[in-house]
A = this chain, B = another copy of it.
Amino acid sequence: MVRDIKIFDSSLRDGAQGEGISFSVKDKIKIVKTLDQLGVSYIEAGNPGSNSKDLEFFEELKNIELKNSKIVAFGSTRRKGIRVEDDKNVIALLTANTSAVAIFGKSWDFHVTDIIKATLDENLEMIEDTIRFFKEKGKEVTFDAEHFFDGYKANPEYALSALKAAAKSGADYLTLCDTNGGSFPNEIYEITKKVKECFPNVSLGIHCHDDCGMAVANSIMAVEAGVTQIQGTFIGFGERCGNTNLSTVIPTLQLKKHYNCIQKDQISNLTSTARSVAEISNLALLNNTPYVGSSAFAHKGGMHIDGVTKSSESFEHINPELVGNRRRFLMSEVAGRSSILSSIQKINKNITKDSPEAQKVIDELKRLEHLGYQYEGAESSFELVVMKVLGMYTPKFEIDYFKTIGEHSVIGEEFNSSSIVKVSVDGKEEITAAQGNGPVNALDKALRKALEVFYPELRDVYLTDYKVRVLDTENTTSAKVRVIIESTDGNKTWSTVGVSSDIIEASLIALRDSIEYKLIAIKSKSTNNNLINQVNEIII
């Protein structure tokens, strides 16, 4: 019997409470689209009552059509001493206009009496009133029983009465929260099992924190005890030590226990989704993240490599390709040839595993990876590398010289950043200069200004995203940086990457790739060049 587990992602809400996490509205929209694509059931998108920036985001969300996910707005039960319809946070939650809401309330008696300083009875009324209010407005309601496990351990009767108040008002899910992250797997299992016995006809959820490094295990044990909704954040970030890592829970339940968490054909997109979420969140996805990290199937010990070569299951708990990851042998630096091959074949179908061209591409990629290049999130640069190696590339311009100058009298006064660029196209030279907000902006302006003389279509191109990642923090300001930029011509969007120990040079490499990609792969859409049309398909 296959059981469905609803994945409830809170990267944008509880995740945003993680140290160093800060999303722009645009970042949030990108994450929503990424998670919807993968097919998580619920996306908890923010707390409209506590954060006015979130309201703006919910407004934008109304224009976006989702295929798989329901957007959830998060808020509290009404405050004590007022009517639910007079609580401005409750009203803000309604304004978000989502079909589903998550309402958290107290279930630990100590929190009721000592933190919100209400009576135990009034807290139950606050839960009941608030959930009834949203049910009457036709919402799907998840009740997050905050500190449920600590509450149950202190006063099981009261903790259960909080759930009863929510169930009585029609809550669709009773979600048991280990808010402080201090519970043990066997406790979670036993308490959840008792709750299931008390509420056999209500769906249960689980929400764990990783303060003891057991959030994933605790969530899995709750599933064993009967919950059908798992809350977490996609790559695990969140308040303090973070939340349940959904990119770990999903494959564990789906591949090993045969639950349905996301659609079967999406599980192979798990790794790319995790990398995208990390990229948008401006975090490095840790190498050793289960399933999706770049080291998750990296073998270093000689006996391990020998074993895996004989039979992969000897030292791998699953086949890495199932989750879109790849095996790596660290000693021999043998890259996952098959995954690279499939990308090459998107550009030229005739190249096989044994073609000398395939080896040449792999050698070049190895060289570039060694320099710090990474093509996740910069597929256009990857295509340019393949095209260059396959001889399908003619340079459209040369950058002969560039200079950046930044001059200030004192900090905060008029700033003056300018750039000089000299380019040549078919032997004709053009030199020009531009001013900008900082050296990279000045360089971007000058480069396109020079090239527009030859390629007027570049006037439509502008950058939509610019990200900087320091690769090796040990050397600090002289460390290598990786710059990823996203460009658009108003019609298509593409991403390119540059790496250098100098941020300006890294930016220029990414800018150059961006312009070349526009000129080679996009401009010539109207021509009949088959290879180019194949590249176009990848872009679309």
Residues of A within 8 A of B (CB): 16-20, 22, 24, 26-27, 50-51, 53, 76, 110-111, 114-115, 179-182, 184-186, 189, 210-214, 216-218, 220-221, 224, 236-237, 239-242, 245, 248, 252, 256, 282, 284, 286-291, 293-304, 306-307, 310-311, 313-318, 330, 332-334, 374, 376-377, 398-411, 415, 417, 436-441, 444, 462-474, 476-479, 481, 485, 500-505, 507-509, 512
CB-based contact B501/A437 at 8 Å: yes
Q: Is the CB of B377 within 8 A of A317?
A: no
Measured CA separation A236–B301 after assembly (Å): 17
Closest residue of chain B to A280, judged by CB? B473
* Chain B hits for A407, CB < 8 A: 402-404
Nearest residue (CB) in B for A476 is B463
| B501 and A438 contact, CB distance less than 8 A | yes
The contact of A408 among B310, B403, B409, by CB within 8 Å, is B403
A405-B403 contact given A252-B212, A284-B473, CB 8 Å threshold: yes
Q: A115-B306, A241-B293, A437-B501 are in contact. List 10 more A-B contacts (CB 8 A).
A: A17-B300, A17-B304, A19-B294, A185-B217, A213-B216, A240-B298, A241-B296, A404-B407, A405-B406, A438-B478
Contact between A463 and B477 (Cβ–Cβ < 8 Å)? yes
A115 near B477: Cβ-Cβ < 8 Å: no
Q: A185-B217, A465-B473 are in contact. Are A503 and B503 (CB under 8 A)?
A: yes
> Nearest CB to that of A403 among chain B residues?
B407
Residues of chain B lying within 8 A (CB to CB) of residue A478: 436-438, 441
Q: Please determine whether A17 and B469 come into contact, CB atoms closer than 8 angstroms.
A: no
A282 touches B469 (CB 8 A): yes
Given A333-B53, A507-B477, check contact A471 B24 (CB 8 Å): yes
Tell whether, in the assembled complex, residue B19 and residue A436 are in contact, meaning their CB atoms are under 8 Å apart. no
Give the Cβ gap from A251 to chain B, nearest Cβ, in Å.
8
> Which residues from B are CB-within-8-Å of A317?
180-182, 211-212
State the majority secondary structure of interface residues on A. Answer: mixed
- List, sorted by A's number, 10 A–B pairs whose CB atoms are closer than 8 Å: A19-B287, A51-B334, A182-B318, A213-B245, A214-B220, A411-B508, A411-B509, A436-B477, A468-B503, A477-B507
Q: A410-B398, A473-B466 are in contact. Are A216 and B212 (CB under 8 A)?
A: yes
- Contact pick for A115, options B296, B310, B401, B512, CB 8 Å: B310
Residues from chain B with a CB closer than 8 A to the CB of A304 are 17, 239
A464 to B400, CA, bound (A): 35
Instruction: State whether A212 touches B290 (Cβ < 8 A).
Output: yes
Measured between beta carbons, the chain B residues less than 8 angstroms from A318 are 182
Complex alpha-carbon distance, A409 and B333, angstroms: 33
Whether A503 lies near B210 (C-beta < 8 A) is no
Flag if A27 contacts B473 (CB, 8 Å).
Answer: yes
Taking CB atoms, residues of chain B closer than 8 Å to A462 are: 476
Could you tell me the distance between the alpha carbons of A301 and B245 in the complex, rounded to whole angstroms? 20
A509 — which chain B residues lie within 8 A by C-beta?
Answer: 411
A438: chain B residues at CB < 8 Å are 477-478, 481, 500-505
The answer on a CB contact under 8 Å between A182 and B256 is yes
